[in-house]
Amino acid sequence: MTQSTQAQVALVTGAAQGLGFHIASRLFAAGFRVVLTDVNGEAAKKAALSLDPEGINAIACELNIARKADFEAALQFAVTKFGALQVLVNNAAVTKATPVMDISPEEFNEVVNINLGGVFVGCQVFGKYMAEQGYGRIINMASLAGQNGGTSTGAHYAASKGGILTLTKVFAKELASKGVTVNAVAPGPIDSPMVTALVPEDRLPTLLGAIPVGRLGNADFIGDVVVQFARPEAYFTTGTTWDVNGGLFMR
């Protein structure tokens, strides 16, 4: 199936703020029509309107990634509004920094079920639709924490992100013959509200000192990486992880 970027529709989870909003804004700037979803529906609406005050090419939808029915409803919403959907960005996640020995089984299960379970269901629901259409691009937001065990994040967050790397390969194999690619992006510390919340100001110099390039990452660049994976020309790249971590983890 021949595709053009201008005709494509992308849905981003957790897009009301932070990295998710940067991803949505870069997709929008690249010519994609974008559905911004978030567990906070009102915040998603405000974010969409900030991109497109007319509400023509950027729209919002409430989506809780812990609920499969929400993914199904969001897919139907996007197809109803835009006629089709070609790109899914699984970005939404919960982050907790509880010390590993203090994490209860309930808290561990909650974080893993939301972060890893949400990516699984998103790939399953949207992957099936894309396979039926014969074309699709799925981009899963992993993390450096899933590769090195984490630094400022909790063990449950790191474990969930490590699982996302594996799920990306599983779905890439499953969907490759259907014209659907599945890739991951693994950012290190990004200049974002999440890092600000997890790293106290007095610890920031220590964090920067541990990063070989000596700076936090740029959220808009992460969005541009997602755009590259979302392009029709990315058909030959699937099951991969693009590291953006300032040299903290090298293969």
Q: Residue with structure tokens 């639709």?
A: 129
Count CB atoms within 10 A of the CB of residue 209.
8
pLDDT along the chain (251 residues), means of 10: 68 97 98 98 98 97 98 98 98 93 97 98 98 98 95 90 98 98 96 74 84 94 98 98 95 86
Task: Please check whether residue 157 is in contact with residue 98, taking contact to mean a CB–CB distance below 8 angstroms.
Answer: no
What is the secondary structure of 198-209 as a DSSP string?
Answer: HS-GGGHHHHHH
Write out pLDDT tens, residues 47-94.
999 999 999 999 999 999 999 999 999 999 999 999 999 999 999 999
Q: What is the pLDDT of residue 5?
A: 52
Q: What is the pLDDT of residue 1?
A: 44
Strands (E), the chain: 9-12, 33-38, 58-62, 87-90, 136-141, 180-187, 241-244
Q: What is the pLDDT of residue 2?
A: 47
Task: Please check whether residue 179 is in contact with residue 132, taking contact to mean a CB–CB distance below 8 angstroms.
Answer: no
| Residue numbers annotated as active site | 157
What CATH fold (topology level) applies to the domain 5-242?
Rossmann fold (3.40.50)
